[in-house]
Amino acid sequence: MAKPGDALLFSVVRRDHRPWLLMLNAAVATTGGLLIPAALADAVDMALSGKFALFTLLWLLGMAATEIIGDAIGIVLAASITSRATAWLRNRLSRHLLALGHPSPFAAGDAVSRMTGDCSNAGGVVVTLISLAIAAVTSAGSVVALALLDWRLAAVFVVSVPLAMFLVRTHMQLTADDVLTYQVVSGDVSARLVDAVSGKRTIAAAGIADREAGRVLQPLPRLAAAGAGMWRTQAKMMWRAGLLLPAVEVVVLITAGFGVMAGRLSAGDVLAALGYAALGMSIVGQVPQLTALERTRASATRIAEVLDVPPAERARTTTTNGSGSIELRDVSVGCALHEVNLTIPAGTFAAIVGSSGAGKSTLAAVLGGLSAVDSGEVLRDGEVGYAFERPALLGTTVGRSIGYGTDADGAEVRDAAVAAQVHDVLIRLPQGYETPIADVPLSGGEAQRIGLARAIVRDPEVLVLDDATASLDTVTEAKVDKALTTALPGRTRVVVTHRAATAARADMVVWLENGRVRGSGTHRELWDDEDYRAVFTGGE
Amino acid sequence: MRFYLSTLAGHRRGVLMLLAWSALEGVPAFFGGRLVGTAVDQGFAAGEPLTGVLWLLAFAALAVAGALGQRQVFARLGAVVEPMRDALVTRIVKGVLNDPTHRRTPDASAVAMITRHVEVVRDATAGVLVQARALLVTTLAALIGLATTATALIWLVVLPIVAALALFALMLPSLAKRQRDAVMADEHTAEASGAVLTGLRDVVACRAADEAFEDISTQVGRQADATVTVAWANALRATVIAIGGFTPIVLLVAFAPPLVASGQLTTGAVLAAVVYLTNNVNPALHGLARTTSTIVMRLMVALKRLQEAAPRTREEVGDEVPSNGEFVLRDVTFGWSPDAEPVVRGLSLDLRPGDHLAVVGPSGIGKSTMASLLTGLMPPDFGSVLFGGAPVDLVVPVVRHHAIALIPQETYLFTGTVRENLALLAPSATDQDLIEAVDKVGAKPLLDRLGGLDATLGHAGEGLSAGEAQLLALARVYVTSASVVILDEATSHLDPAAEARVERAFSQREGILVVIAHRLSSALRANRVLVMDGGKPLLGTHEHLLKTSSLYGQLMLAWDPTHHEEAPLPKR
């Protein structure tokens, strides 16, 4: 049955000429491989005749060389095809995920697993298909070769393989209990380690590292028991599987022996029969490849799912370069905002307040075009910069994470960091601004201030702070507030906040409730409303 | 790597048992070629089918014996692999928890990575024991079998194989490096895409889709290149092994004719030799090229990554005995690196029993560094931190740990009973002591809600709020006999009233109390305040600082009392 990902897989196969090269190479190498047992049989017969024949030996060498060189080329070609296809899929997918914007219809963890796992599965489609084809051709070719030696050999082989497989078939699955126990206990040890690691300062200060290590390791005996159980089960499976090839070999050898007795076969032919029996079994090992093919298709479907989502329209937004006013007309977004009408004049300090779930962050996202609107219109007079409560800091170094997406130079980055009150922290890092972002142990407040610096460096007409100072102590928040006024004088500022003090400082307050504007005005005007006061006393 | 090998050596008995069963596994390889040769030579070719069939049935019987040997090998793998994994996990956990660099704390994803690598080591060790051992046993058995049948030609067979194996061994280091690069490239790709996709909102907000795509695409490209590089190495390796495996066959048939003609080699011997080579030696060599080396590479990469995750631990040293419970700091300066701006500069401070010091300043300025310096977790770069007259980091560890207790902002709770969690630092405390401590810090209602001391806690204090977890951590230290208590933002998740109660409880306890303050209200309760704001630290009483320091005045003004309804406490 066709799956949505099949078309994508087809385009992966047809990307370039390399799959054809691999196929051609495989055809040559497989032919060489199929001719080897026969060539070997001739060579052995030559040896047994006691007369040296150069051509026979050269033929054997030629076939072997064909197979060996073909295999080597095949390894490189296969890796090249798979890795290029994977890269192609990953680039397409990441481009599309970026185009889909925010909020993404795919959860971040899910998207990452599609990027890493699914793309590499789907990228292997060509190699999986060709290996299946090679195995099929090899097996068929071996049966033909056996038939050419003696039709009885082929008949015995064709009958014995399914029979042998039936006899040694593995009834047993890995006992689910042991596997499950192993996973559960292993997870328990990890969780204990995470606990201990997050309490590392307590442990270090109290000097109880060894004792706590013992606590983390407490479940180990159960893990070892489950592990040993898994090995025992596997032992039972393995020894039956190990009998398959000898069983078929013995049957083919006996048949070949009678062929020798009847004069149909030479002594060398016995070896050829043995060789073809082993080659013919290659199809038996292909069950995992079939599973791989199914997995490939499933992965391709998961990638196609993303690629099939059209990027959201951003047409009903008008951005002009200018003073920094924003107007919302009948804006609705899903079930988060309903028909919001709002005008924020240029240069205003506006606070957005409301209890959690009121739609504050969605409103903030709509103001700067971070997310698209379902209906209504957003008129924006100038660029909008954002700072968040929990900013994701991107880019290679700390300095770069401030200049991310711009071509700001070192001095501009530094100025922005000074304004955001984070410069003092950054120069104390091991490599200052050049410290790789992954190596920086940042507290929530520090990350927030770097996020602020990132917004400041863009010098936007409108600055939207989505609870961007929530983790700062009150002293630092006040400093940041003052610095923002100095660094970006006269800019429109929209602040999502839970703090009454912040709302009190604002020129206007927009009070949201269940996705609608419940009221707007100054903090002092709204404070008379008991419901408004409840927004602050109930929160924090 | 050395640790890994010595661990394996520690399970010598298990490994020897495995090898003993391997001997049984090698039996078909040893007799196989000869039996097939004899079956043709003396059976079918001699016109005696029954003899031929019987020899072949013997071949089948030996195959069953070999499979049985393999079964025993697998069943006994657990006895070697599982203890090895236990030893590895033990060492890593100890390494992580003893890691002297306190800044670098692995998070949940790093722990998940460690777990994955440990599983790789476990599987790869099993793989090596199964495959490399099988290779060794099979090749040896087949070569010995060959030597007994075609003695005259044995060197033609052995030399190419040995040469190929030697070449293969020479190639291993470069292979390992390439494999490692590929693994790293893989991790970088996952990291780059993970960072961008979890931060999609910020990418859009920064209009940085192009830079984000470039970052991902660069890593994706590198990963593809690394994969192809590994493939070239693999191809070379496969070629060397294939040539090494096939050359003996060609040499054998090329040199056999004169020996057969002169009667030195029988038909059976030639057949046996070829069967040994094609059925036993070659598959084993190919196994080596295809899987064993991959497994060894994965094993080496995983071991190396584990080593990085858990460096060798440093034993705590120190034999100084403090003469009293006083702290004396003189001209203390500390920075994260010689180039970085110091976090603490020229600090001098005396603390005596009964002192209550509050450390205030903007977040991120390095207030926690004070806590680490006082607990001896880090020595200062310049100056001295003396506890009872001795440098605190050189005090006998047991004495130091008992005398000085630190409660950091991030709480350590583990899965176990509430009692176990509370008695962590005072194992001999009675239930009475514990309940009293819980009551003092205001956590009695919490204890009752949890269901008393016997209630169990889940991982990471599951079901507790951050503030509740902090209360338990506070009670845990309250019950100890520590004479110096350092609260490093340990009340950050408590409401102001609860925070005040905790600080009061600790200040009524004997000894020194240092509060690294989250809120400025903590300064009002202390009898001395240390202000850290990047420059030289300021020290004095609240009143004194208000009068003399404009910075302190500004800090107090900026502090917004609308959030801290609690009235300042009267001075003690």
Q: Say if residue A348 is in the same domain as residue A492.
A: yes
Residue B205 contacts A where some CB pair is shorter than 8 Å: yes
pLDDT digits (tens, 9 = 90+) for B405-444: 999 888 899 999 999 999 999 999 999 999 999 999 999 9
Q: Say if residue A340 is in the same domain as residue A485.
A: yes
Residue B404 contacts A where some CB pair is shorter than 8 Å: yes
Q: H-helix or E-strand containing A329?
A: strand A326-333
- At A144, is the pLDDT very low, low, confident or very high (cuts 50, 70, 90)? very high
- Of B482, B105, B100, the C-alpha closest to B316 is B100
The answer to whether residue A112 sits within a structural domain is yes
Q: Say if residue A300 is in the same domain as residue A419.
A: no
- At B563, is the pLDDT very low, low, confident or very high (cuts 50, 70, 90)? very low
Q: What's the gap in Å between the CA of A1 and the closest CA on chain B?
A: 32
Q: Which chain B residues are closer than 8 Å to A224 by Cβ?
A: 78, 82-83, 85-86
Q: Which chain A residues are closer than 8 Å to B27 by Cβ?
A: none
At A88, give phi and psi (nearest 5°).
-60, -45
Q: What's the CATH code of the domain at A342?
A: 3.40.50.300
CATH of region B353-376+396-563, choose from 3.40.190.80, 3.40.50.300, 3.40.630.20, 3.90.1570.10? 3.40.50.300
Cross-chain residue pair B336–A79, CB shorter than 8 Å: no
Q: Which chain A residues are closer than 8 Å to B114 by Cβ?
A: 190, 193
pLDDT digits (tens, 9 = 90+) for B397-411: 889 999 999 998 888
Q: Say if residue A297 is in the same domain as residue A446.
A: no
d(CA B392, CA B321): 10
Overall number of domains in chain A: 2
Percent of chain B predicted with pLDDT > 70: 91
Between A451 and B33, the more confident residue is: A451
Between A487 and B472, the more confident residue is: B472
Between B312 and B152, the more confident residue is: B152
Inform me whether the pLDDT recorded for A402 exceeds 90.
Answer: yes
Q: Say if residue A35 is in the same domain as residue A145.
A: yes
Which pLDDT belongs to residue B560? 44
Between B357 and A490, the more confident residue is: B357
Which pLDDT belongs to residue B559? 54
The answer to whether residue A415 sits within a structural domain is yes
Residue B314 contacts A where some CB pair is shorter than 8 Å: no
Q: Say if residue A425 is in the same domain as residue A291.
A: no
User: B372 to chain A: nearest residue by CA?
Assistant: A205
Residue B151 contacts A where some CB pair is shorter than 8 Å: no
Which pLDDT belongs to residue B357? 94
Which pLDDT belongs to residue B325? 85
- At B191, is the pLDDT very low, low, confident or very high (cuts 50, 70, 90)? confident
Q: Say if residue A360 is in the same domain as residue A494.
A: yes
- ipTM, two decimals, is 0.83
Inform me whether the pLDDT recorded for A23 exceeds 90.
Answer: yes
The answer to whether residue A136 sits within a structural domain is yes
* B565 CB-near residues (< 8 Å, 6+ apart): B496
Q: What's the gap in Å between the CA of A164 and the closest CA on chain B?
A: 13
Which residue among A296, A311, A326 closes a domain?
A: A311
> What mean pLDDT, rounded, does chain B reach?
84
Cross-chain residue pair A207–B221, CB shorter than 8 Å: no
The answer to whether residue A223 sits within a structural domain is no
Cross-chain residue pair A202–B204, CB shorter than 8 Å: no
Which pLDDT belongs to residue B107? 62
Contact criterion met (CB below 8 Å) for A477 and B566: no
d(CA A490, CA A2): 60
The answer to whether residue A221 sits within a structural domain is no
The answer to whether residue A56 sits within a structural domain is yes
Q: Which chain B residues are closer than 8 Å to A75 by Cβ?
A: 231, 234-235, 238
Contact criterion met (CB below 8 Å) for B105 and A441: yes
Residue B487 contacts A where some CB pair is shorter than 8 Å: no
User: B200 to chain A: nearest residue by CA?
Assistant: A102
Contact criterion met (CB below 8 Å) for A249 and A274: yes
| C-alpha distance from residue B572 to each of A209, A455, B195, B355 (Å) | 38, 46, 51, 11
Contact criterion met (CB below 8 Å) for B116 and B183: no
Which pLDDT belongs to residue A168? 57
Q: Which chain B residues are closer than 8 Å to A406 by Cβ?
A: 206, 208
Domain boundaries, chain B: 2-309, 353-376+396-563
The answer to whether residue A49 sits within a structural domain is yes
* B521 CB-near residues (< 8 Å, 6+ apart): B496, B499, B500, B564, B566, B568
> What mean pLDDT is predicted for residues A207-225?
91
Cross-chain residue pair B211–A395, CB shorter than 8 Å: yes
Which pLDDT belongs to residue B101? 60
> What mean pLDDT is predicted for residues A136-157?
93
Cross-chain residue pair A231–B77, CB shorter than 8 Å: yes
> What mean pLDDT is predicted for residues A332-336?
82
> What mean pLDDT is predicted for residues B479-497?
87
> What mean pLDDT is predicted for residues A160-187?
71
Inform me whether the pLDDT recorded for B312 exceeds 70.
Answer: no
Cross-chain residue pair B86–A220, CB shorter than 8 Å: yes
The answer to whether residue A250 sits within a structural domain is no
Question: Of the candidates B94, B221, B560, which has its C-beta nearest A209's C-beta?
Answer: B94
**Omega before A391 cis (within 30°)?**
no
Cross-chain residue pair B71–A108, CB shorter than 8 Å: no
Q: Say if residue A75 is in the same domain as residue A103.
A: yes
Q: Say if residue A303 is in the same domain as residue A323.
A: no
pLDDT digits (tens, 9 = 90+) for B105-155: 556 667 777 887 888 888 888 888 887 787 788 888 888 888 887 787 888
> What mean pLDDT is predicted for residues A330-343?
85
Q: Say if residue A425 is in the same domain as residue A380.
A: yes
pLDDT digits (tens, 9 = 90+) for A407-449: 888 899 999 999 888 898 888 888 889 988 877 767 667 888 8
User: B221 to chain A: nearest residue by CA?
Assistant: A87
Which pLDDT belongs to residue B554? 66
Residue B49 contacts A where some CB pair is shorter than 8 Å: yes
Q: Say if residue A292 is in the same domain as residue A396.
A: no
> What mean pLDDT is predicted for residues B290-295?
73
Which fold is adopted by the domain B2-309? Answer: ABC transporter transmembrane region fold (1.20.1560)
Q: Which chain B residues are closer than 8 Å to A210 by Cβ?
A: 94, 97-98
> What mean pLDDT, rounded, does chain A reach?
85
Which pLDDT belongs to residue A155? 93
pLDDT digits (tens, 9 = 90+) for B70-114: 888 888 888 888 988 898 888 888 888 887 664 445 566 677 778
Residue A482 is part of which domain span?
317-538
Which pLDDT belongs to residue B571? 35
Q: Say if residue A37 is in the same domain as residue A144.
A: yes
